[in-house]
Amino acid sequence: MAAKTKFRGSFTALVTPFKNGSLDEAAFRSLVNWQISEGTNGLVPVGTTGESPTLSHDEHKKVVEWCIAEAKGRVPVVAGAGSNSTKEAIELAQHAEKAGADAVLVVTPYYNKPTQEGMYQHFKAINDAIGIPIIIYNIPPRSVIDMSVDTMKRLWELKNIAGVKDATASMVRVSQQRAAMGEDFNQLSGEDATILGYMAHGGHGCISVTSNVAPRLCSEFQAAWAKGDTKAALAIHDKLMPLHNNLFIESNPAPIKYAMSLLGKLDETLRLPMVPVTEPTRVAVRSAMVHAGLIN
């Protein structure tokens, strides 16, 4: 029986707080609780937004464990477990399963530039090594490769492949994937700015960067959409749209960490090669937060 996930709504692609060069456990645990209290529907630790490329494997595993321990089953935890090394991805996925994650998020292998067959074999190897659902993370702007709908359809036949985090920003792709795999294939957007169109094409929710700083508004948008209140959803979308844009003026997660520092949620600390945002971006992010009603 193939794994199925019914993930719906706003899932936060969590940032990883740092302090004095180390993980800030207290800030991270506090963030998890704040997200849940604000209505976030699920949590995704150690993805791109969580600066996974510059975390050691031990740090990566700690963040996953902290997230699961702090969530206490109140919302699903989809643990980042991707790597451009299949062996490493399997190790991280097996750890996430053992730690109690509800599913894993596995990115298409970056830098190596595998073929469609290489991607299929990568995900099949991870599928065969674990017993929890896998969400494919398709993000061509970062990984340089784009998983085709045909490859996704082949993978959907495997027992643990459950859905996709789609960061292609293509509205057409949602409908194409729904036509190929059906309604049970769990489609989550990885592109905040296109979420309205994504949902209109039959998407199920969003793994969001913006929801780090605006969790309540992001979950309210999803709730309005689920109720069929498109007018309310559009109004919230308009409120959030400057944030959706301005949080990506510079490379994620630098802008979102600045935004969260304005709320006093964490230090604006990143690991090289990520650096704090420039002054023009600070002005743009602050303006978007005012527009969304998050600060005065």
Residue 249 lies in a domain: no
Instruction: Please tell me the pTM assigned to this model.
Output: 0.97
Nearest to 243 by CA among 185, 192, 191, 179: 192
pLDDT tens digits, one per residue of 190-210:
999 999 999 999 999 999 999
Instruction: Provide the pLDDT for residue 1.
Output: 47
Residue 273 lies in a domain: no
If one counts the domains in the chain, the total is 1
Residue 92 lies in a domain: yes
Nearest to 94 by CA among 117, 61, 136: 61
Residue 125 lies in a domain: yes
What's at 135, amino acid-wise? I
Question: Could you tell me the CATH number of the domain that includes residue 40?
Answer: 3.20.20.70
- CA distances, 81 to each of 20, 49, 158, 174 (Å): 26, 13, 18, 23
Residue 15 lies in a domain: yes
Instruction: Provide the pLDDT for residue 13.
Output: 98
Q: Where in 90-185 does DSSP place strands (E)?
A: 103-107, 134-138, 161-166
Decide if 77 contacts 8 (C-beta within 8 A).
no
pLDDT tens digits, one per residue of 12-59:
999 999 999 999 999 999 999 999 999 999 999 999 999 999 999 999
Instruction: Provide the pLDDT for residue 4.
Output: 87
Joined together, the tokens standing for residue 77 give 């935890």
Q: Which residues are documented as binding site?
A: 49, 207
- The one-digit pLDDT tens for each residue of the chain (296 residues) are 456 899 999 999 999 999 999 999 999 999 999 999 999 999 999 999 999 999 999 999 999 999 999 999 999 999 999 999 999 999 999 999 999 999 999 999 999 999 999 999 999 999 999 999 999 999 999 999 999 999 999 999 999 999 999 999 999 999 999 999 999 999 999 999 999 999 999 999 999 999 999 999 999 999 999 999 999 999 999 999 999 999 999 999 999 999 999 999 999 999 999 999 999 999 999 999 999 999 99
Instruction: Give the residue numbers spanning the domain of 185.
Output: 7-226
Residue 181 lies in a domain: yes
Decide if 17 contacts 23 (C-beta within 8 A).
yes
Cα separation, 103 vs 93, whole angstroms = 9
The neighbouring-strand residues paired with 11 are 42, 207
Q: Which residues are catalytic?
A: 137, 165
Q: Which residues are documented as binding site for pyruvate?
A: 49, 207
